[in-house]
Amino acid sequence: MESKHIATSSPFSLHRGCHECNLSKLCIPIAVGAEDIDRLEEIIRQGKMLNRGEYIFEQHTPFRSCFAVRSGAIKTFTVSEEGEEQVTGFYLPGEIIGLDSVSMEKYSCSAVALERTSVCEIPLEKFEDLASDIPSLQHHFFSLMSKEIQESRQLTMLLSKNSAEERIASLLLSLSTRFSRRRLSGTNFRLPMPRSDIGNYLGLAVETVSRVITRFQNNGIIKVQGREVQILQLEELQKVLRHDTKCLEHQKESAVNGR
């Protein structure tokens, strides 16, 4: 269970540059030619390590940098005046955090490591200069931010229109495709976050998350053991998201049928 850390966060990989990073096709370097990667590397501080629970940055502190996740997993969240936490996102290797605070005075959310995690720091001031010089880099960064807006819109839509089942199906599918992109299994993976964070993120009570997951399992769509997830019927999960299927065969009936 801890073994996967070794692969991605060994001391060696930490000090490799963007050239060697196997995430470069997902990350910032994708935008720049080989000759410009060196300039990019110059401004990026590589491979800062964090233990579970450690902060990458904190809400309301001065904004300096975005961060690329290199290994591990991160959650971002805001805390309202009343002290309520709101999870705004989960970030996996190859993804960028801090885009919502670019060109702001202060970070608009906090970011904490959900497990042992390494990140690359992208100081925005220097980065903006570089982006002015390299049009494709500016373009790519616009694109990243634009995607972030779209994803947030997606989530908004999910929350405003979809049932608990559909929301959870959506999250599972999102994780699945994001693992696949990194050439990991899209059907067998470990949830980096506790149920409470899932609920918070999706606007559901923990109990509801738990119930829905159990329901999915009873319907043979997934198999769950703690945080270990196995997607057995990907298509069914997609159907759930499309309002096609409802898996809410309330257990009453099956109970009556003596199962």
Partner DNA sequence: CGTACAGTTGAGGAGATTCAATCATCGTGG
Partner DNA sequence: CCACGATGATTGAATCTCCTCAACTGTACG
Q: Please tell me the distance from the alpha carbon of residue 259 to that of residue 155, in angstroms, as a whole number.
A: 37
Q: Please tell me the distance from the alpha carbon of residue 161 to that of residue 164, in angstroms, as a whole number.
A: 10
Q: Identify the CA nearest to 109 among candidates 56, 47, 146.
A: 56
Find the shortest distance in angstroms from Cβ 111 to a copy of itself: 13
Using the rule CB under 8 A, which residue among 10, 61, 86, 251 binds a copy of itself?
A: 86
- Residue closer to DNA by CB (options 29, 199) is 199
Using the rule CB under 8 A, which residue among 45, 153, 227, 246 binds a copy of itself?
A: 153
Hey, which residues between 217 and 246 contact DNA (CB under 7 A)?
224-227, 246
- DSSP-assigned letters across all residues of 54-94: -EEE-TTSBP-EEEEEEES-EEEEEE-TT--EEEEEEE-TT
Q: Please tell me the distance from the alpha carbon of residue 119 to that of residue 125, in angstroms, as a whole number.
A: 18
Using the rule CB under 8 A, which residue among 16, 25, 106, 139 binds a copy of itself?
A: 139
Find the shortest distance in angstroms from Cβ 46 to a copy of itself: 23
- Residue closer to a copy of itself by CB (options 24, 200) is 200
Q: Give yes or no for residue 248 binding DNA (CB under 7 A).
A: yes
Using the rule CB under 8 A, which residue among 145, 224, 232, 234 binds a copy of itself?
A: 145
Using the rule CB under 8 A, which residue among 128, 184, 232, 247 binds a copy of itself?
A: 128
Using the rule CB under 7 A, which residue among 51, 152, 251, 254 binds DNA?
A: 251
Hey, which residues between 141 and 180 contact DNA (CB under 7 A)?
163-165
Using the rule CB under 8 A, which residue among 112, 184, 203, 217 binds a copy of itself?
A: 203
Reduce the DSSP state of residue 26 to 3 states and report it.
Answer: coil
- Residue closer to a copy of itself by CB (options 222, 240) is 240
Q: Please tell me the distance from the alpha carbon of residue 133 to that of residue 113, in angstroms, as a whole number.
A: 33
Q: Please tell me the distance from the alpha carbon of residue 27 to that of residue 31, in angstroms, as a whole number.
A: 9
CB–CB of 229/172 below 8 Å? yes
Q: Give yes or no for residue 214 binding DNA (CB under 7 A).
A: yes
Query: Residues near 16 by Cβ (< 8 Å), separated by ≥ 6?
Result: 46, 47
Query: Residues near 176 by Cβ (< 8 Å), separated by ≥ 6?
Result: 186, 187, 189, 231, 234
Query: Would you give the binding string for DNA spanning residues 173-212, x where CB under 7 A is met?
Result: ---------------------xxx------xxxxxxxxx-
- DSSP-assigned letters across all residues of 80-146: -TT--EEEEEEE-TT-EE-GGGTTSSB-SSEEEESSSEEEEEEEHHHHHHHHHH-HHHHHHHHHHHH
Q: Which residues bind a copy of itself (CB under 8 A)?
A: 78, 80-82, 84, 86, 88, 99-104, 108-109, 128-129, 131-133, 135, 138-143, 145-150, 152-153, 155-157, 159-161, 200-203, 242-243
Q: Which residues bind DNA (CB under 7 A)?
A: 163-165, 194-196, 203-211, 213-214, 224-227, 246, 248, 251
